[in-house]
Structure 1
Amino acid sequence: MMSGRFGGRRGRARRSVRRGRPQSAVGRGRLSRPSGRKVADVARNLEISEQSIYLWRRQDRIDRGLEPGLTNGEKAELAAAKARIAELETELAATRRAIELVREVVPPKGGSRPSR
């Protein structure tokens, strides 16, 4: 029986979306290396999507240098650099605006010419 706003079944609890890296209870190495269990079974047991497991496994191979790509450390460094750049751009915009306001308020000196 379909009902509800999103067409879900009545009385069925919605699962929360889990994101990020596998937690210590899951074990990073256990998901990244073949264990004989099907990915679908592991995903169902952990209540996550199969795609998450495949992504974690791929990222682990990248971190171990077995595949090309950005390691988790490099990703964190890149994110920090982007955040710093955004912060500096905001600061620069504020400084430029302050300079504009000062130029409007403070008239140039008597006989001085504008700089080139």
Structure 2
Amino acid sequence: MDRMAFNAGKLSKAGLAAIGLAVMAIPATSAFASAEDPTAKLSEEQAEQARQIFTDWSCGQCHSLSDAGGVGHIGPAFDGNDGLTHDFVVGRITNGQGAMPGFGGQLTDEEIDLLSKYIVQAKK
């Protein structure tokens, strides 16, 4: 009986150690996943994909962005707009504001992220 209690104690200590290591690894994994630089230059393939999203969702009807052929005057101009940051653009595309509709749930998070990076990179 004592031997079984001893083995059970070893297993629970080993189990707790494994859980502790797993819990400690989660923040490290999350840090690497979010450490991607949103200002990193997009590849030409990524820029073309984002340009296509901009066109397919008619962003250029309201916003000017010469790289994508956007000539709209309803929403803020992207060209020359130094106030645009990746996080700001992600928030606007996702949630909208005023006349701007929110596209969260219509575009994937990945598409919103790519489009946001593109807008911030392509503005002149």
TM-score, length-scaled by structure 1: 0.31
**Structure having greater relative contact order (Cα 8 Å, sep ≥ 6):** 2
Structure (1/2) with the larger helix percentage: 2
TM-score, length-scaled by structure 2: 0.29
Which structure has the bigger radius of gyration? 1
